[in-house]
Amino acid sequence: MRKLLIFTLGVFSAIGGFVDIGDIVSNATVGARYGLALVWAVVVGVIGICVFAEMSGRVVAVSGSPVYSLIRDKVGPGAALVNLIASFAVTLLTLTAQIGGIALVIQIATTIPHVVYVAPIGIALWLIVWRVKFDSMERAFGLAGLTIAVFAVALWWLDPDWGDLGRQAVSLSPPPGEAVPTYLFYAVVLFAAAMTPYEVFFFSSGGVEEGWKPSDMSTQRINVFLGFPLGGLLSIAIAAAAAVVLLPRGVDVKTLDQVVEPAALAFGTAGLAVALFGFFAATVGAALECGLSCGYALAQYFGWPWGKRVAPARGARFHATVALCLLVGVLIVQTGIDPIMVTEVSLVFSAVALPLTYLPVLIAANDPDYVGEHVNGRLSNGLGLAVLAVVFIAAIAAIPLMILTRMGA
């Protein structure tokens, strides 16, 4: 049984990273507008996160150090502080969106306005971070989030024109009548969703939490090459279901209610319940990842004791950071701000911050002082440089495209 569960850190990272509240709606929006014409952006993002997560996991297994500690070592305290401010702000924004997303899921199930649930959700998340063991947390929410696969089953049940979906998937241009800048804006959003910095912070810090050693190299690779592609496939399933059900009707996806329509159409109330349960597990998992990542980043930069295994009395600053970030997220969502909009904005700015995160990882994975004989080979370096080129292009283009397209309107 333990061998079957060793990949749950990757599953948990992937569910929280690929399938959070903003990404759920973004994939449905893209599917309803472009069909599968942007699936290539998800594929590129999956390849990118796999390449760099494998590097960071390898560094953790050999050196015992998480990514953020390495960033400070490799680029210096000043440059690392810029990275800290940018990534911390983006992660806090994403945490805010996840708290709102959880409330939106409950709102659909109960029809009671989501703001009623915000404070209890914040308290529940804090209790989970404080009291639930790391491995129990990752397994429970990572595996529960897999129920989002109901969209893949619904797609098969609805028996679409598979040839048409295939033609959409191999297209590298927008459908007729769609503006190229808007198409490229959504490509950047989907790529950034796959490569969000907190995914690497959480994955590498989780490896430290689990005590990875060089003998665990195969374990971390299983986490990477099963977990993250699985998250990508779930994202594509949501987009494909929207392409089949919502695209022909010209639906402009704005709410979570519209996203669950394919599952409800295929399986009725049962499909709706399973989809909402999957969204609930995914958004809770994403909120936990983001909250912990805020604490990880700050504690690792300043050299504080950190981790869920560290008692609150010894890691007081780490635990206080997580609690304060949850409180800030709760207070922001309680104002009634749209959590989906917050996440979409955070994805744009996370695209801008990507180079600061991934360049130091590539450097560290080539440093024998960190990884000894396990330095990158030619394939890892070639893929890493190719992905970095895309990262820099996305970082440069993100804000101009956001302004030009008015957030993809």
Taking a C-beta distance cutoff of 8 angstroms, is the pair 19, 235 a contact? Answer: yes
Of all helices (H) and strands (E), which one includes residue 198? helix 197-209
Report pLDDT for 6: 52
Q: How far apart are CA 205 and CA 211, in angstroms?
A: 10
pLDDT above 70 (res 4): no
- Comparing C-alpha atoms, which of 312, 346, 300, 316 is closest to residue 189? 346
pLDDT in tens, 325-374: 999 999 999 998 887 788 788 888 888 888 888 888 898 899 888 888 89
Per residue in 96-114, pLDDT (tens digit) is 989 999 999 999 999 899 9
The proportion of the chain whose per-residue pLDDT surpasses 70, expressed as a percent, equals 95
Q: What is the pLDDT of residues 28-76, one digit of tens each?
A: 999 999 999 999 999 999 999 999 989 988 998 888 888 777 777 777 7
- Is the pLDDT at 294 greater than 70, yes or no? yes
Task: Reply yes or no on domain 2-405 having CATH 1.20.1740.10.
Answer: yes
Q: From CA 242, how far away is CA 375, in angstroms rounded?
A: 42
- pTM (2 decimals)? 0.90
In the chain, domain spans: 2-405
Widest CA span of the chain, in angstroms?
A: 60
- Does pLDDT of 312 surpass 90? no
